[in-house]
Structure 1
Amino acid sequence: MAYLRGTFRHFPLLAPLSLLCIALTSCTVGPDFKRPDVPEHAGYSKEKLDTTASANIGAGGAAQRLMTGMDIPGQWWTLFRSPTLNTLVEEALRANPNVSAAQAALRQANELVYADQASLFPSVNANASKTREKVSGVSAGLPDSPILTVSSASLSVSYAPDVFGGTRRQIESTTAQAEYERFQLEATYLTLTANVVNTAISLASIRDQVASTEEIIRLQGGQLDVLQAQRRLGAIGDADVLTQQTALAQTRATLPPLQKQLAQTRNQLMAYLGRFPNQDRGEAFNLASLHLPQELPVSLPSAIVSQRPDVRSAQAQLHQASADIGVAVANQLPQFSITGSLGSTVAGGTKLFSSGSGVWSIAGAIAQPIFDAGALEHRKRAAVAAFDQSAALYRGTVIGAFQDVANALRALEADADALNQQVVAEQSAQASLDLVQAQYKLGAVAYINLLNAQQTYQDTVLARVKAQAARYSDTTALFQALGGGWWNRTDVDPATQGKPDRFGLPTWQEIMPPSNAARAEPLKQ
Structure 2
Amino acid sequence: MMCQPDHYPFKVKLLCSIRLWSVGMIATMLSACAVGPDFVPPASPTESRYTSEPQAEQTVVADTQAQHFSAATQIPADWWRLFKSEQLDAVVQLAIAHNPTLEASEATLRQSQDNLRAGYGVFYPQIDAGLNAARERSAPTQQGLQTPGSIFNFVSIGGSISYVLDVFGGQRRAVEGLSAQRDYQLFAHKAAYVTLSANVVNACIARAAYSAQIRATEELIALEGEQLAATEAQVNAGTGAYTSVLSMRSLIAANQGSLAPLKQKLSQAEHLLIALEGVSFSTANLPDIDLKGLSLPLALPVSLPSDLVRQRPDILQAEAQLHAASANIGVATAAMFPSFSLDGTFGVAGSSFGNLSAENGKFWSVGPSISIPLFRGGSLWFGRKAALDAYDQSRAGYRQTVLGAFEQVADSLKALEHDAESLQAQVESRNAAEEAFHLLQIGYKSGLSAYLDVLTADVQFHQANIAYLQAVAQRQQDTVALFVALGGGWWNTQVAAKEGKTP
Q: TM-score, normalised by structure 2?
A: 0.91
Aligned in 2, Cα 1:409/1:229: closer, same or farther, shift over 3 Å?
Answer: same
CA drift of 1:97 comes to 0.4
Counterpart of 2:114 in structure 1 is 111
Counterpart of 1:394 in structure 2 is 398
Counterpart of 1:351 in structure 2 is 355
Deviations 1:21-56 (A, max 9, x none): 431342200001111113313521222221222234
Identical-pair percentage: 38
Distance 2:375 2:429 in 1: 80
Distance 1:87 1:44 in 2: 34
CA drift of 1:487 comes to 1.1
* Conserved 8 A contact 2:25-2:165: no
Distance 1:350 1:224 in 2: 110
Per mean C-alpha deviation after superposition, the further-off stretch among 18-27 and 381-390 is 18-27
Deviations 1:174-233 (A, max 9, x none): 110010000000000000011111111111111110110011111111111111111111
Distance 1:132 1:401 in 2: 70
Counterpart of 1:49 in structure 2 is 56
Distance 1:370 1:42 in 2: 53
Aligned in 2, Cα 1:460/1:135: closer, same or farther, shift over 3 Å?
Answer: closer
* Conserved 8 A contact 1:306-1:312: yes
* Conserved 8 A contact 1:342-1:360: yes
Aligned residues: 482
Structure 2 unaligned blocks of 5 or more: 1-8, 498-503
Counterpart of 1:318 in structure 2 is 322
Structure 1 unaligned blocks of 5 or more: 494-525
Aligned in 2, Cα 1:257/1:10: closer, same or farther, shift over 3 Å?
Answer: same
Counterpart of 1:30 in structure 2 is 36
* Conserved 8 A contact 1:54-1:416: yes
CA drift of 1:482 comes to 1.1
Aligned in 2, Cα 1:411/1:154: closer, same or farther, shift over 3 Å?
Answer: same
Per mean C-alpha deviation after superposition, the further-off stretch among 190-199 and 67-76 is 67-76
CA drift of 1:459 comes to 0.4
> Which of the residues 190, 193, 197 maps onto 1:189?
193
Distance 1:486 1:217 in 2: 46
Distance 1:173 1:229 in 2: 83
Per mean C-alpha deviation after superposition, the further-off stretch among 459-468 and 109-118 is 109-118
Equivalent AA in structure 1 for residue 159 of structure 2: L
Distance 2:70 2:304 in 1: 10
* 1:20 aligned onto 2:40: no
Aligned in 2, Cα 1:243/1:362: closer, same or farther, shift over 3 Å?
Answer: same
Written as runs of structure 1 = structure 2, the 5 A alignment for 1:63-462 is 63-133=66-136, 147-348=151-352, 351-462=355-466
Deviations 1:366-415 (A, max 9, x none): 22222222111111111111111111110111111111111111111111
Per mean C-alpha deviation after superposition, the further-off stretch among 406-415 and 305-314 is 406-415
Counterpart of 2:3 in structure 1 is none
Distance 1:254 1:395 in 2: 46
* Conserved 8 A contact 1:158-1:340: yes
Deviations 1:329-367 (A, max 9, x none): 111111222211122223448622333432111242222
Aligned in 2, Cα 1:443/1:381: closer, same or farther, shift over 3 Å?
Answer: same
* 1:489 aligned onto 2:493: yes
Distance 2:200 2:225 in 1: 37
SS at match of 1:280: coil
* Conserved 8 A contact 1:22-1:163: no
Distance 2:147 2:304 in 1: 93
Deviations 1:118-162 (A, max 9, x none): 1122211112223333569999868xx865233222221112211
Equivalent AA in structure 1 for residue 283 of structure 2: Q
Deviations 1:441-497 (A, max 9, x none): 344443222211111111000000011111211111111111111111159x9xxxx
Q: TM-score, normalised by structure 1?
A: 0.87
Q: In angstroms, what is the RMSD of aligned CA positions?
A: 2.3
